[in-house]
Amino acid sequence: MAAFTSFGMSFFVGGAGGQGLVHSNKTKADTYMNMAQASGGFDFGIKQYRECWCSRTPRPCSSFVDKGWEFAGSATATAAAGGKGATADDTQINTGAIQVYPLTGTGLAAGVSVAGRKY
């Protein structure tokens, strides 16, 4: 399981950065990580958000910590301030073994994009 807090901006080309924690239920170890993202697509806006990652098996979690690269596609529509408002966000990671739950705290964003992330 992992949780990240991030901030990102985009206008067709975008970027985001943040930090988080990965917890292994198997080894009970916590790993603190930083994240940087570059994205491109029909996407524009600015938002502060959190992501909760759940892995169905231990292997994707250890691979994620050891390699630190992820590629994703996302579609988002967000209008939120102070945790209140409306958001619809779907992020698909390059492996089906990880489920991502995005939570937008503040922001105004809309679009469809692909992204590469380095942790």
pLDDT in tens, 49-73: 888 888 777 666 777 777 777 787 8
pLDDT (mean) for 16-34: 89
Instruction: Please report, in angstroms and rounded to a whole number, the separation of the first and last CA atoms in the chain.
Output: 15
pLDDT at residue 84 greater than cutoff 70:
yes
Question: Which has more confidence, 3 or 60?
Answer: 3
The residue ranges of every structural domain in the chain are 2-118
By mean pLDDT, which of 11-15, 47-51, 60-64, 78-82 is the weakest? Answer: 60-64
User: Are the C-beta atoms of 109 and 76 separated by less than 8 Å?
Assistant: yes
- To which H or E segment does residue 115 belong? strand 98-118
Nearest residue to 45 via CA among 72, 76, 23: 76
pLDDT (mean) for 7-26: 90
Q: Which two tokens stand for residue 32?
A: 């603190």
Q: Which two tokens stand for residue 79?
A: 């209008």
pTM of the prediction?
Answer: 0.76
pLDDT at residue 6 greater than cutoff 80:
yes
SS3 of 82, please? coil
d(CA 99, CA 87): 18
pLDDT at residue 99 greater than cutoff 80:
no
Residue 26: left if φ>0, alpha if ψ -120 to 50, beta else—which one? alpha
